[in-house]
């Protein structure tokens, strides 16, 4: 443990103790301000747990916050508060799982729009239920809970969300989410179950948001759907997290404190201009602080191919059929990319797919690796049908690939790129063992000593080497190389061919795509 680590824990404990003592010395106004800050710290950090690494911009915060608040409003008179908080978390998780299964396959603006509409949909449902069924207009909360208790509950929740975030960031789940955020296609091809990983974090994030809503509800005394499911909550949380830096656990904290103070001033002096100020702040962050304040800190702080010894891997017996493709067909509308493809690859063989651009070579690899589903035909891998299986399952069976257009995880280091291939295979490697294996694989492709370099800083040729090393990290039996030798100069080409031959000599079966 480094000296920095040794003093961090006591300092954090002192800070938490000081914050816990704050209600004992603060007057009503500053205590209310502290409650607001803590509530947004919980919400923004919970938002960043999911949206930070995955880069899925969610506007569902108001939906889950409102679920928690309304759960407290409906049940608080009949059920103990502690039990209501647990129920709020369970309801939030249940809604997140249902919504996540339907929406987490969306990306970009489609995901943003759907999550934004979620809060409005729930608000309309709750409003209809109250007007048509219960004949009420909002709910009163009569609980003997003062601001001090709310403050301490939020402080405990904030500590918990930071601890959970710290643990996730150092886990295989955290790495899976970072890989998904960098390149979801690569994530599937290094055996990550992207749907499950996203769903788990989306549910954890929703649980914290729902609990925050339940804890905050007694502060208002009266709650109606417009208050509980206010869409401005979602927008403010996103802006706070982005200002601080959603990619860092401490980032949202850096954004919440100044923006809560700014919004307090705006509401007090220019209440009719709040939305305008919010929009201006968002534009400034997007254009001038894309990585947030934490990203500014990171920026401030901030050889040829070689052939060392082979990396051991199990393989099928030579002479057996590794891959058998029969009648494979794939069309995109009226364009038939692959038509009645038959091929057989024997164990230990190097098979070349050669043809002009547009002849369907890459589409064939996409069908074999699970990136695409065939319209018809069979793919047998070691006698097992795999046509139509998802890419992550095919990768776990022992098929790895590189891509025609190089796909490295640009925001991760070279070592993390390799660990992404090591951590999710059937025999996963993690921790120091994974780092040691990553160093060996980097040396294998000529990138020794460059493990800490961000993959996005490598030149084109080195990125191809890194992509190959990541594929080898899966310990595949069948390796698909999509124009991996393209772009190499004559000397690099000769060494690259020697590397491919050495992999074949170790028992690896290879399909190579090259164009003419």
The last residue of one of the domains, among 182, 210, 230, is 230
Co-location of 348 and 456 in the same domain: yes
Residue 286 scores a pLDDT above 60: yes
Give a yes or no: residue 99 inside a domain.
yes
User: What is the DSSP secondary structure assignment for residue 329, as one 8-state letter?
Assistant: E
Co-location of 88 and 225 in the same domain: yes
What is the token pair recorded at 255?
């954004």
Residue 212 scores a pLDDT above 50: yes
Task: Please say whether the beta carbons of 93 and 203 come within 8 A.
Answer: yes
Distance of alpha carbon 99 from the chain centroid: 17
Cβ neighbourhood burial of 316 (10 Å; 0-12, 13-18, 19+): middle
Co-location of 215 and 325 in the same domain: no
Give a yes or no: residue 510 inside a domain.
yes
Q: How confident is the model at residue 437 (pLDDT cuts 50, 70, 90)?
A: very high
The pLDDT > 70 percentage for the chain reads 93
Q: Which 3 state secondary structure label does DSSP give 291?
A: coil
pLDDT of 308: 42
Q: What are phi and psi of 344, to 5 degrees?
A: -135, 135
pLDDT of 47: 96
Co-location of 217 and 356 in the same domain: no
CB-CB neighbours of 100 under 10 Å: 21
pLDDT of 6: 52
Give a yes or no: residue 427 inside a domain.
yes
Co-location of 219 and 325 in the same domain: no
pLDDT of 301: 54
The last residue of one of the domains, among 230, 250, 285, is 230
Give a yes or no: residue 221 inside a domain.
yes
pLDDT of 485: 87
Co-location of 220 and 336 in the same domain: no
The mean-pLDDT minimum among 21-30, 209-218, 456-465, 486-495 falls in 486-495
Give a yes or no: residue 287 inside a domain.
no
More confident residue, 367 or 304: 367
Co-location of 335 and 190 in the same domain: no
Give the C-alpha distances (Å, rounded to integers) separating 42 from 16, 39, 68, 282: 14, 5, 13, 20
pLDDT of 312: 46
Q: What are phi and psi of 478, to 5 degrees?
A: -125, 125
CB-CB neighbours of 319 under 10 Å: 8
- Give, in degrees to the nearest 5, the angle at Cα 264 between 260 and 268: 170
β-pair type (376-381, 350-355): unpaired
Co-location of 325 and 472 in the same domain: yes
Co-location of 197 and 335 in the same domain: no
pLDDT tens digits for 356-373?
888 899 999 999 999 999
Residue 394 scores a pLDDT above 60: yes
CATH code: domain of residue 425: 3.40.50.300
Give strand pairing partners of 295: none
- Three-class SS string for 377-442? EEEEECCEECCCCCHHHHHHHCEEECCCCCCCCCCCEHHHHHHHHHCCCCCCCCHHHHHHHHHHHH
Co-location of 335 and 221 in the same domain: no
Give a yes or no: residue 325 inside a domain.
yes
Domain count, the chain: 2
Give a yes or no: residue 216 inside a domain.
yes
pLDDT tens digits for 153-202?
999 999 999 999 999 999 999 999 999 999 999 999 999 999 999 999 99
Co-location of 74 and 215 in the same domain: yes
Q: What is the pTM of this model?
A: 0.86
Give a yes or no: residue 79 inside a domain.
yes
The last residue of one of the domains, among 230, 251, 282, is 230
Residue 329 scores a pLDDT above 90: yes
Task: Please say whether the beta carbons of 409 and 186 come within 8 A.
Answer: yes
d(CA 84, CA 71): 7
Residue found under tokens 């809604």? 95
Q: Which 3 state secondary structure label does DSSP give 341?
A: strand
pLDDT of 138: 79
- Domain containing 161 equals 15-230
Question: 442's torsion region: left (phi>0), alpha (psi -120 to 50) or beta?
Answer: alpha
């Amino acid at each position: 443990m480094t000296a920095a680590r040794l003093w961090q824990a006591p300092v954090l404990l002192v800070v938490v103790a000081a914050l816990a003592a704050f209600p004992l010395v603060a007057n009503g106004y500053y205590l209310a301000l502290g409650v607001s800050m803590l509530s947004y710290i919980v919400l923004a950090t919970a938002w960043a747990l999911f949206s930070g690494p995955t880069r899925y911009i969610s506007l569902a915060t108001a939906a889950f916050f409102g679920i928690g608040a309304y759960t407290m409003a409906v049940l608080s008179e009949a059920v103990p508060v502690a039990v209501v908080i647990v129920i709020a978390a369970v309801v939030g998780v249940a809604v997140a799982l249902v919504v996540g299964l339907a929406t987490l396959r969306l990306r970009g603006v489609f995901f943003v729009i759907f999550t934004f509409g979620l809060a409005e949909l729930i608000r309309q449902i709750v409003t209809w239920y109250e007007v048509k069924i219960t004949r009420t207009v909002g709910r009163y909360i009569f609980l003997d809970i003062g601001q001090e208790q709310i403050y301490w509950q939020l402080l405990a929740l904030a500590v918990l969300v930071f601890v959970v975030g710290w643990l996730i960031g150092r886990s295989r789940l955290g790495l899976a989410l970072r890989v998904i955020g960098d390149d979801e296609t690569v994530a599937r091809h290094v055996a990550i179950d992207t749907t499950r990983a996203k769903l788990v974090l989306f549910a954890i994030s929703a649980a914290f948001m729902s609990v925050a809503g339940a804890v905050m509800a007694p502060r208002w005394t009266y709650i109606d759907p417009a208050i509980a499911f206010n869409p401005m909550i979602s927008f403010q949380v996103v802006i706070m997290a982005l200002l601080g830096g959603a990619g860092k656990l401490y980032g949202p904290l850096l954004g919440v404190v100044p923006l809560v103070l700014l919004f307090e001033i705006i509401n007090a002096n220019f209440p009719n201009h709040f939305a305008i100020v919010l929009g201006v702040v968002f534009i400034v962050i997007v254009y001038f602080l894309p990585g947030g304040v934490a990203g500014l800190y990171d920026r401030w702080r901030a050889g040829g191919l070689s052939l060392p010894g082979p990396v051991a891997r199990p393989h099928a017996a030579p002479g057996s059929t590794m891959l058998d493709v029969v009648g494979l067909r794939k069309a995109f509308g009226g364009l038939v990319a692959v038509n009645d493809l038959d091929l057989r690859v024997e164990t230990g063989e190097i098979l070349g797919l050669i043809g002009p651009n547009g002849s369907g070579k890459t589409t064939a690899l996409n069908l074999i690796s699970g990136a695409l589903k065939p319209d018809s035909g069979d793919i047998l891998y070691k006698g097992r049908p795999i046509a139509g299986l998802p890419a992550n399952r095919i990768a776990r069976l022992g098929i790895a690939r590189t891509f025609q257009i190089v796909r490295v995880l640009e925001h991760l280091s070279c070592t993390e790129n390799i660990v992404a291939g090591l951590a999710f295979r059937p025999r996963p490697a993690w921790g120091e063992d994974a780092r040691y294996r990553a160093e060996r694989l980097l040396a294998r492709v000529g990138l020794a000593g460059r493990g800490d370099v961000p993959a996005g800083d490598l030149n084109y040729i080195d990125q191809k080497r890194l992509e190959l090393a990541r594929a080898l990290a899966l310990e595949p039996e069948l390796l698909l190389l999509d124009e991996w030798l393209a772009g190499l100069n004559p000397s690099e080409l000769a060494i690259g061919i020697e590397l491919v031959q050495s992999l074949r000599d170790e028992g690896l079966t290879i399909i190579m795509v090259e164009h003419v």
